[in-house]
Amino acid sequence: MNNTPVLEIKNVSVCFDGFYALTDVNANVKRNSIHFFIGPNGAGKTTLLDIICGKTKPTEGNVIYNTQDGHSVRLTGLPEYQIVRHGIGRKFQVPSVFKSLSVKDNMLLSLKGHKSIIDCIFGKPSKEEFEHIDYVLERVGLKERTDICAGTLAHGEKQWLEIAMQLVQKPEIIMLDEPAAGMGKLETFKTGEILKDIKKECTIIVIEHDMDFVRQTADIVTVLHEGKVLTEGLVDEVLANETVQAVYLGRSKAVS
């Protein structure tokens, strides 16, 4: 068993015009875990994902990605497309599926999108690729919706399609910014069960405000507050921490 963390966030600080959105953030993400970053609004959660995927450059610090076969890659400084090529994908909060295309065509675009343009135009998907798409759609509960226009999917189903579009690329790490936002209780629960299933194949980094969802799904929770790591640990001990409860005052319903 390889115990090296798949991702090491080391002494990361980000300064926007004199304002520190993150200050000396350290965290290790275990392979095949579901690692949550939680914290009040403005804590720096989205900024941290921006750092990992290369959208924002840190003022100080590094993010290191450790591959399955023992190589270490310094992600900091790499352009976004190269980070994606290393198998590190991100789903944004607002679903961005192609509404006029079918569920299957959205999956095909995602599968082929990172290949060359020639391959995209002339390369017919192979039988294996279609089978892989079916397999992934089944895992997110959309197998019966394959030929439906993505625009007609319910909000939750669109989110699952986006997760599937990440998953079909066989990523090493997927990052989800508030995947349960706008979902009802049942859809949120189902999203958690989907994540617990897919962590067997990749590592999942999640930002979320819904504490029931965090309790249901998290392996490790890191709490950010005003750009700093407040605490990190197993979900029950973190949520029982008095300081964590104090920073969530005003959001106390979420933590109760």
Least distance between Mg ion and beta carbon 49 (Å)? 8
3-state helix, strand, coil in the chain (%, to 5): 40, 25, 35
Chosen from Mg ion, ligand ATP, none, partner binding at 190 (C-beta under 5 to 8 Å by type): none
Name residues whose C-beta falls within 8 Å of residue 35's C-beta, 6 or more positions apart in sequence.
27, 29, 203, 204, 205, 206, 218, 219, 220, 221, 222
Indicate which single residue of 16, 80, 94, 215 sits in contact with ligand ATP (rule: CB under 6 A): 16
227 CB-contact burial (10 Å; exposed 0-12 / middle 13-18 / buried 19+) = buried
Indicate which single residue of 21, 29, 46, 111 sits in contact with Mg ion (rule: CB under 5 A): 46
- Choice between 56 and 169, CB closer to ligand ATP: 56
- Choice between 46 and 191, CB closer to Mg ion: 46
**Alpha carbon distance 218, 221 (integer Å):** 7
Indicate which single residue of 8, 35, 44, 106 sits in contact with ligand ATP (rule: CB under 6 A): 44
Chosen from ligand ATP, Mg ion, none, partner binding at 151 (C-beta under 5 to 8 Å by type): none
Taking CB under 5 A as the rule, does residue 47 contact Mg ion? no
Chosen from ligand ATP, Mg ion, none, partner binding at 81 (C-beta under 5 to 8 Å by type): none
